[in-house]
Structure 1
């Protein structure tokens, strides 16, 4: 296994046993990156799930132009990350950015440097990643919503149930299996996030926005530490696998596949 070797590509792998893992455990940078990844996932996953479900409800209507609206909402997902980065770099620009310009209009005299301040850079990446991703999950939710029998809503309306009650009593229980699938792929995507970090912040400032996938790339191809990067990759694989198993354990107890 590469994670048990010292290897810089230019030379043959040299067996070092568990030295890479020992270095990981004692590395403040690794723990910071792991914490960043968990915070990223903790913000990204619920954000994507809630926004994409809300958008799916909004476009699950028989309205003129709704197909065009669905296409517009899906467009960011198929847009290249470089183009997305150019757009959001302008939005997040400290002095002349659109977002800080709006904040100044609302009385914020000293808005943050979104991509250069440690507290804000990771949040900025969450915003960009969410904006780019929700269109795909929206389509999945939309497909699930269109499989719910309309007669159930008609019966609920006759009984006097409001829209919100219908969502919680009919929609969410019936699309629970699909929602769980969307949660799993979103959760895995959160821990594998790389592109947005690579093109927007490069993990900076001072690793404040660095995540495990980018940390693997950085050690492997910037520092040439293939063995150490492989050890980080193994940790990431075990972490994602363990959390996914926990999610499936919870699913067996809370998700019903019976209509």
Structure 2
């Protein structure tokens, strides 16, 4: 009787989560899997067209350009975010004056709306009256404004914005990992004559192996799926230089911005969404299986 009652109580607590998962997760997935075989614009009747959406996708140069841009964006973000996050975590894990205040400052971008961050940085990097150009011209570093949002520098600009917004989050995760490393290891290494660099390389890095594996996986997924700040700052422009996969998908399903297709394309958008999910899932799976023995290596 007691076990039956506990089972009923547990089921009652799980019921809301199950309903939300079915309504917001399973049903939309089934809906997308259905409509990717249809020509459907969001209104009227849906016309079954078989694999035509995927044939169109195979020859869609805009989509494949967005895939390339996604890899450039994700790669640049990862190469900057992970080392910076680890460096900040190591510095703020030591006996630094005001470290709790600095932790809060670096973590603050994580809790601020992405749209707000993007608007602020849009004004900072504005080509005509942005703060960056004004400072550089004031101190005679440049003689004329730099078009930070133009074809040459737009991708670099959105990567900088993405790094600024993500560093604090991964810094906090690295801090949690650092605080679980026994201090006795560092003390023993110091007694044996190891300097700070040797302690970091031979103790900190190996002990952070499992945590680093998780952080890198989260960072890969977030980088491949990121598009919000790009949508606000450049809308994928100029001339598609910052168009990433999820932004392209968003424009197909919700054509509300100036850079979107003329009409809503839910059928084709569903096919693009399926292909995008396969790409992100495939890269994540490759990383996971190639690093699942990281703990043994470290």
TM-score relative to the length of structure 1: 0.94
In structure 2, the partner of 1:107 is 141
Give the conservation status (yes or no) of the 8 Å contact 1:81–1:199. no
| TM-superposed deviation, 1:122 | 1.6
- What pairs with 1:131-150 in structure 2 (closer than 5 Å)? 131-150=164-183
How well do the aligned residues superpose, as a CA RMSD in angstroms? 1.7
Is 1:97 aligned to 2:130, yes or no? yes
Return closer, same or farther for 1:258/1:119 CA change in 2, 3 Å cut-off. closer
In structure 2, the partner of 1:190 is 223
Q: Which of 257, 269, 283 matches 1:229?
A: 269
Q: Which of 225, 232, 239 matches 1:199?
A: 232
Distance 1:233 1:106 in 2: 47
Distance 2:280 2:115 in 1: 27
In structure 2, the partner of 1:256 is 295
- What pairs with 1:19-98 in structure 2 (closer than 5 Å)? 19-98=52-131
| TM-superposed deviation, 1:106 | 5.5
Larger-Rg structure: 2
Give the conservation status (yes or no) of the 8 Å contact 2:128–2:145. no
- What pairs with 1:159-174 in structure 2 (closer than 5 Å)? 159-174=192-207
For structure 1, the 5+ residue unaligned runs are: none
CA deviations over 1:147-173 (Å, ceiling 9, x no partner): 001111111111222212211111111
Structure 1 runs of 4+ aligned residues shifted over 4 Å read none
Is 1:212 aligned to 2:266, yes or no? no
| TM-superposed deviation, 1:110 | 4.1
How many residue pairs align between the two structures? 257
For structure 2, the 5+ residue unaligned runs are: 1-33, 256-262
